[in-house]
Structure 1
Amino acid sequence: MERALKWIAAEYHDLNGTHYDTLEGPPSSLDFSRLVHVARPVVIKNCSLPGYDTASWTNEFLIQQMGDRNISVAATPNGHADAVTLGPDGRLILVELVLRLDPSDARETSSSGREVLYLQSQNGNMYTSRYFDLNEDSLVSEAIDKPPDAVNLWIGNERSVTSIHSDPYENIYTVVRGAKHFTLLPPTEGWCMKERLYPHAAYIRSPTRPN
């Protein structure tokens, strides 16, 4: 079986290579629809979020928009949220800790460097939180004739890491501030990940944390 999987992966690589297209501006709705059907990575430059002045998304602006509503953030000592980690007994475990924090408290905790906070909820938090007035007349809506299933706002820092995973749908990722590095694997190499079930655990915050 493994020999056959290696052959399929090699054939896919020979046909597709590691090339990805780069567009210098946003495509038309028709071209975007074609990109979705091809299902290959593409980088789109000079493409802002329609209806959003993201240049004004400073820390102060985001805190103001979120108001006094608590937000759910992943808190870890190393920035690896929802990640497989070596436990104290030497076993691999899936570990996490999700906190409900006031936005100002989250900023203070993140700045302290004691732990890494990562706003990374997957539940369409731009819909459910109502932090912003969503503009549904987007390139995506025009191309697929319906609003996106989910729109998420993720906030991290240079220590935040998204664990390896697979998504059953297409994604558009817009970097508003900073940078994000991606490692993409073709579906024919999913078997290399040796997917399996792991025991679940959670970090526990120390009651007394050093300054």
Structure 2
Amino acid sequence: MSTLDALERCARETREYVGARVTRATSPPSALAFAMAHIAANVPLLTANATTHWRAHDAWRANEGVMEDFGGPDAVVEVNATPNGRGDAVHRVEKDGWARLGTGTRCETTGRGETRDAFDAFVEPAKREMTIKELFESLEDGAGTGTAWYLSGQNDNLRSSEALARAGARNDFDVPFAREAFASVGKAGRDGLGEAVNLWIGNDASQTSYHQDFYENIYTVVRGTKVFSLRPPCDVFDMRATEAVRGVFETDDALSWRIKLRPSFEPRVVWSAVDLDPVTGEPIFGDDDALRYRRPRPEPCFDVEVRAGETLYIPAMWFHRVRQKGIAIAVNSWFDMHFGDRYATRPLWEPSRRSMSSSSVTLA
């Protein structure tokens, strides 16, 4: 048996072990049951009624309640902006220096040197400051602005941002069963709430591309619905990892978009390009079924709808892709993972990555 055959067999057996669907519970488990059946086993869980004590579930049903907790409608927040809802995602840059945005649209890139071939760029969103009232108005306007807006943070924004910290101080975002489980192994983090507590406010114009985190993720939806596509770490074969140059979206007052590419000496980003058509480089939107036939081994994902009041546990190293249905508000906490044998054997699972480029790409 070849090494590849052995790894594919291991992936199949891992799938059988994980099961065919994510466990749904009507009430949260005890900390011990959660630690044994889910954290130790690296298996997701969706539970209702774990955060019934959160006042945000009632206070944030209306925009006015959110704005009040932020300090009023004129409170300023930092928001991500993209022309196509795909921030922190891979985009294909063509030979002529224009990047594909989807639905036949493209934008120009800057900072690009000479190259004979197309290449992949990992593009971060533009950052904008606006009032919380303006954010909700933009989200309710939907596609009318030509810009996808998303208040999203991976930087502990509920404790590090002034306006968001004000909201955090007025609300208890503790998830008791998770806190107790992680505290038992010294992983509870600051105030028992984890290493980072992040707030997410967006709509269906934005989606988060497939990625994996080296944190245990406790994700609670406060308002609306989130749709998660989950894949266990063994599905790394299907993720079509690419080594992409770095870039960031930029726009002017006329909302003319471009991508500024980073200098070539900066490290490249290894990211999943599974939501790009492998032939055309066109982004693929919609549900996970739209991506399946582009994979060499199209195993089904675990599609999970997380509704208001429900909490999803995403185990460390699981791949996940996230979409919204309408306007959605959510809070998640990251807890440190255990860097043991599962992490140490990770290199065995990584497929051969795409060559960085068949020709040299020099960025100024």
2:91 aligned with 1:54: no
RMSD: 2.3
Mean CA deviation greater in 44-53 or 185-194: 44-53
2:28 aligned with 1:26: yes
TM-score, scaled to structure 1: 0.87
SS at match of 1:27: coil
Shift of 1:207: 2.5
TM-score, scaled to structure 2: 0.53
Q: Do the aligned partners of 1:72 and 1:121 also contact (CA within 8 Å) in 2? A: no
SS at match of 1:121: coil
Unaligned stretches of 5+ in structure 2? 100-117, 257-364
Shift of 1:65: 1.9
SS at match of 2:78: strand
2:144 aligned with 1:141: no
2:120 aligned with 1:92: yes
SS at match of 2:198: coil
Shift of 1:121: 0.8
User: Alignment partner for residue 180 of structure 1, among 214, 226, 251?
Assistant: 226
User: Alignment partner for residue 79 of structure 1, among 81, 85, 91?
Assistant: 85
In 1, Cα distance between the equivalents of 2:79 and 2:49? 30
2:182 aligned with 1:153: no
Shift of 1:69: 4.3
In structure 1, what residue type is equivalent to 2:79?
Answer: V
In structure 2, what residue type is equivalent to 1:71?
Answer: V
Which is richer in strand?
A: 2
In 1, Cα distance between the equivalents of 2:173 and 2:27? 20
Q: State the match for 2:109 in structure 1.
A: none
In structure 2, what residue type is equivalent to 1:46?
Answer: N
In structure 1, what residue type is equivalent to 2:50?
Answer: C
In 1, Cα distance between the equivalents of 2:224 and 2:182? 29
Shift of 1:106: 2.2
Partner deviation per Cα, 1:115-174 (whole Å, 9 max, x = no partner): 111111101112223122253764122222231121111111122201111011211111
Q: State the match for 2:132 in structure 1.
A: 103
Which is richer in helix?
A: 1
